[in-house]
Amino acid sequence: MATSPRDEPLAPSHLAADLRGFGPLGILATAAILLGNAVFVPLSGILVILWAWRSRTPWREIGYVRPKSWIRSVAIGITFGIAFKLVMKALVMPLLGAEPVNEAYHYLAGNRAALPAAVYAMTLGAGFGEETVFRGYMFERLGKLFGPERWAKPAIVAFTSVWFGLDHYAVQGLAGVQQATIFGVVFGTIYCLTGRIWPLIFAHAAFDLTALAVIYWSLETEVAHLIFK
């Protein structure tokens, strides 16, 4: 039996197909997304959302899956983010030889005037922006590029983790690269296993806000020496 036009699936527009592809428009969109934060934070994350909408990419493909319980998702994300930051500061980074005080952000110690901008950057810029770009968008793009091969997901985790780490070199130096690369491996692996970005957004924000609290109250040395005196 013939189907009526309204029964047929809506064909994707040429614009949507071009944005999802790897031709000139797709490459231009990726470049705009990656450079967005140079204009203002978190423009890169906002551009990913606009790209998904205009390219008709299902939200699920960039990790935006509505949690079954927002309360549970927020609680798990915040708890994990705080615990992970404390483990990194007290155990992992000392083993890597990092200095206990992060000089790049030491200006935040007791600096109440700088708190609003710092909180903004760590929630919208890092939590929303970096997770949306480095996990949601890059995993979708590289997943399409690499295909379903068994090596694809480990390669994506490794590639995005190194990229995420190097992105922190200019401000935080080698220690920042080390921490961010480990962070990328952990968060990238979780994203691969769950395909959900909301818990990672909450965890990332909690991770950075915990770092901010430790710096603001001048507790860096104490936390860094909790295990190794």
Average pLDDT over residues 193-214: 98
**pTM of whole model > 0.85?**
yes
pLDDT at 229: 77
pLDDT at 144: 95
| Long-range Cβ contact pairs of 83-89 (< 8 A, separation 24 or more) | 84/183, 84/186, 84/203, 84/207, 85/206, 85/207, 85/208, 85/210, 85/211, 85/214, 86/210, 86/223, 88/179, 88/182, 88/183, 89/211, 89/214, 89/220, 89/223, 89/224
What tens digit of pLDDT does each residue of 78-119 get?
999 999 999 999 999 999 999 999 999 999 999 999 999 999
Band (pLDDT 50/70/90 cuts) for residue 228 is confident
Average pLDDT over residues 211-227: 97
Band (pLDDT 50/70/90 cuts) for residue 9 is very low
Domain boundaries, the chain: 68-224
